[in-house]
Structure 1
Amino acid sequence: MSSLYEVSIPVYTDIVKTTQSILKKGEDHIKDGAELVKLKIADDMLPLDKQVFIIVATGRKLIERVTGGEPVDTPMKDYSLPECHELLEALLAELSKVDRSQVDPRATTEVPCKFGPEEFKASARDYVFGYPIPTGYFHLNMIYALLRGKGVPLGKKDYMGEFMKTFTKA
């Protein structure tokens, strides 16, 4: 069985790195950064900058919950494209500082989880599988869809590359 660290920090790191790479490809295709960060598929949907924000805020909550550390506030606001890149880079730096010895002993520790107005609690392990990992993938998928919808030439390899980096060709 994988450790709590293995199923959380490296997986979320891959989500963030994939977000960075597809965002960069989107930026190369859509030269207007102000347009790019406001992309939406539907009127009632959050724009691309908020999709990035949620990936970052969720990653910071993940770190807090699996290490027992202090929360890092990420304000919800409108973000420019350079600010989106800065947020993602800062989160990668934070994720890289997480030590396995801080995480693995907390697998059965009860942690809070707020989902909209509802509050829950779960073991850190259940929290990882039930909230930050699916949330990270969901918002990464939204960013991918937003960019594809605007004609950015993304394919499955762009999405899967970071997740398959340890694979070798047969």
Structure 2
Amino acid sequence: MPLTMYSLSIPVFARGFSALGRLLDKAEAFAAESGTPLDALFNARLAPDMLPLSGQIQRASDTSKNAIARLTALEVPRFPDDEQSFADLRQRIDKTVAFFETVSPEHLEGSEKREVTLNFPNLKVTFSGDDYLLKFVLPNFYFHLTTAYDILRHKGVPLGKADFIGGLD
């Protein structure tokens, strides 16, 4: 099967959110066993200037679904960043994955050539669609997944590399 913009995005995002769900499962089990308040995990961050666990999941959601918006003509759902609990984070993950289930390979056909321009405070960057996905979106998506993993691991949740990578079957 050849690599396509679809195969490089939608299944990758879905797999990442599946792993995030399993990380949350382990975090909740750890909290119950150790007596750690879930809020202490929900609001945990690696450094004062970094987003907490909740923000990492919100950004993974926004990064991935906004990429699909920029690469297609699809209307992408917007979610307010108002999650207050692990249940809310799971709902955010579920809604994001449900959106991905509506995206077909045809939606992304030709998007590798689509021009994507991002405006930052002091910088404007224009990418081809494939460069945007490979050099900007996927690194950002994995940054937020990894940071969520790192926050939980740092707080004592017993996680290993296999929890991050997920099932290989």
TM-score by length of 2: 0.88
CA RMSD of aligned residues (A): 1.8
> Which whole-Å CA distance do the structure 1 matches of 2:142 and 2:121 have between them?
18
Q: Is the Cα contact below 8 Å between 2:41 and 2:155 reproduced in 1?
A: no
Q: 1:26 corresponds to which residue?
A: 27
CA offset digits 1:37-82 (Å, max 9, x no partner): 1011211111110001100111210221222222432333453221
Is contact 1:50-1:78 (8 Å) kept? Answer: no
User: Which residue number in structure 2 is paired with residue 35 of structure 1?
Assistant: 40
Instruction: Flag structure 2 segments of 5+ consecutive residues without an equivalent.
Output: none
Cα 1:115/1:77, change in 2 over 3 Å: farther
Aligned equivalents of 1:49 and 1:62: distance in 2?
Answer: 20
1:25 to partner: Cα distance: 0.8
| Distance change in 2, residues 1:5/1:116 (3 Å) | farther
Matched, 1:92 2:97: yes
- Shift in Å at residue 14 of structure 1? 1.2
- What is the alpha-carbon distance in structure 1 between the residues aligned to residue 3 and residue 68 of structure 2? 18
1:135 partner letter: N
Q: Does the CA-based 8 Å contact 2:24-2:86 persist in structure 1?
A: no
CA–CA distance in structure 2, aligned partners of residues 87 and 153 of structure 1: 24
Distance 1:9 1:97 in 2: 10
Unaligned runs of 5+ in 1: 166-170
User: Separation in 1 of the partners of 2:122 and 2:62?
Assistant: 17
| Higher mean displacement: 115-124 or 96-105 | 115-124
Residue identity matched to 1:11 = V
Aligned amino acid, residue 111 of structure 2? R
**Aligned residues between the structures:** 164
The CA distance in 2 between the partners of 1:17 and 1:45, in whole Å, is 23
Q: TM-score, normalised by structure 1?
A: 0.87
Q: Percent identity, aligned pairs only?
A: 29
